[in-house]
Amino acid sequence: MIYAALKSIGAYVPEKVLTNEDFEKFLDTSDEWITKRTGIKERHIAADDELTSDMGVEAAKIAIHRAGLKINDIDMIVCATISPDYLCMPSTACVIASKLGRTNVAAFDISAACTGFIYAMSIAKAFIESKAKKNVLIVGAEKLSAIVDYSDRSTCVLFGDGAGAAVISATNKKSDAIADVHISADGNYGDLLMTPGCGVKNPCSQHAIEEKLCTMKMKGNETFKIAVKTLTSDVTNILNDNDVQTKDIKHFIPHQANYRIIKAVGDALKMTSEQVVLTVSKYGNTSSASIPMAMNDIWESGRLKKGDTLLLDAFGGGLTWGSALLPFAGESRQ
Ligand code: UT7
């Protein structure tokens, strides 16, 4: 029997930092409001000439190195992003493959917003278990600063840039296997979180530009309530399906959108503060990159060890949501 295992994690965070105090200089907002309502203190912003693919490439190089592999060992690249280098083509995964020097490889993007990394993990698992692929690179990379309206205080303070990547490899060791991945969606709530313009419905035009239709719009409060409910029930389902209890989880890594959402879900599941991984204060919401960036943080700080049980949980535009239950099968940091 062939299983899929998480062999490594890597991340890239751009240099420039935008603090809450920086927003106070040009927006009707305050550090106090942002901190109290979201838990965010700062976020990183990519340089003008730094693309989503560039950040994905940096994260990918680290993940491939930590997996003990060479780029030519990678036989599929899946990139989850809502801020691709190009609207339609080439895919950011193809650009990443090219920048990594890998040709003749399966490479494609997926669009599942903040749940993208978990969707990518589910795809990698399926390809590996069906023996179609052996080493799949999954990337969550976002330059959200390029699709944020910096005059809309209800969204712009939330989002940041960054990338995370992981290598999922074939193994015959059941104890290393990704136990389960749940992915789901309800398109009836698509209007809660969307970029209305620059697709086929509202093509790029003077009107779309003037109305800022190509930037993210969110009905924050409604999204918040559904997020708490959905994340809690999704995690409960994956734990029950696999006969695992909350106390068996070493690290609960939720999507980092808002501290209050994470706290509400953590409390509902009776997670201790040691179990819940929090990076939202320093990175903000980096959509598909948020879970791998958080995972990389605990690996780099030495908290994430080989064999630790991980529970991942995400929610985002679509609406989409998903969770994953797995051991960390890579090497601990030396
Ligand atoms: O990653 C994908 C999933 N995303 C999420 O799950 C995000 C979900 N939503 C949220 O995190 C929260 O809803 C927000 C952080 C976006 C907003 O927090 P909230 O507690 O739901 O606030 P609200 O939207 O109900 O707004 C409360 C007040 C409003 O003023 P009034 O109408 O009460 O006078 C807003 O205009 O806060 C105002 N406000 C702000 N004030 C200062 C909104 N944004 C700001 C701001 N600074 N940046």
User: Distance between CA 58 and CA 51 in Å, rounded?
Assistant: 11
User: Which CATH architecture group holds 3-175?
Assistant: 3-Layer(aba) Sandwich (3.40)
Give me ligand 1 centre to Cα 221, in Å: 6
Residue-level pLDDT at 132 = 98
* Domain residue limits, the chain: 3-175, 180-327
Mean pLDDT of 87-102: 97
In which residue are the tokens 């696999």 written? 242
Give me ligand 1 centre to Cα 294, in Å: 23
User: Distance between CA 316 and CA 199 in Å, rounded?
Assistant: 19
- Residue owning the nearest CA to atom 6 of ligand 1: 224
Does position 323 have pLDDT exceeding 90, yes or no? yes
User: What residues flank ligand 1, with Cβ below 6 Å?
Assistant: 29, 33-34, 37-38, 114, 153-154, 157, 193, 220-221, 223-224, 227, 257-258, 261, 285, 315-316
User: Distance between CA 328 and CA 321 in Å, rounded?
Assistant: 22
- Residue owning the nearest CA to atom 14 of ligand 1: 220
What would the DSSP string read from start to end of 199-234? SSSS-S-HHHHHTTTTS-EE-HHHHHHHHHHHHHHH
At the topology level of CATH, where does 180-327 sit?
Peroxisomal Thiolase; Chain A, domain 1 (3.40.47)
Percentage with pLDDT > 90 across the chain: 100
CB 255, CB 115: distance < 8 Å? yes
Give the number of the atom of ligand 1 that is nearest the alpha carbon of residue 290.
1
Average pLDDT over all residues of the chain: 97
Residue 334 — pLDDT band, cuts 50, 70, 90? Answer: confident
Residue 289 per-residue DSSP state = G
- To test the pocket of ligand 1, the residue of 224, 228, 229, 280 to mutate (highest count of ligand atoms within 8 Å of its CB) is 224
User: Distance between CA 31 and CA 117 in Å, rounded?
Assistant: 30
Pairing of strands 106-110, 135-143: unpaired
CB 292, CB 9: distance < 8 Å? yes
CB 280, CB 38: distance < 8 Å? yes
Does position 79 have pLDDT exceeding 90, yes or no? yes
Task: Quick: pLDDT tens for 255-298.
Answer: 999 999 999 999 999 999 999 999 999 999 999 999 999 999 99
Residue 306 — pLDDT band, cuts 50, 70, 90? Answer: very high
Task: Quick: pLDDT tens for 194-253.
Answer: 999 999 999 999 999 999 999 999 999 999 999 999 999 999 999 999 999 999 999 999
User: Distance between CA 176 and CA 180 in Å, rounded?
Assistant: 12
Same topology, domains 3-175 and 180-327? Answer is: yes
Least confident of 89-93, 114-118, 206-210: 206-210
- Residue 299 sits at the vertex; the CA angle it makes with 296 and 300, to the nearest 5 degrees, is 85
Give the number of the atom of ligand 1 that is nearest the alpha carbon of residue 218.
16
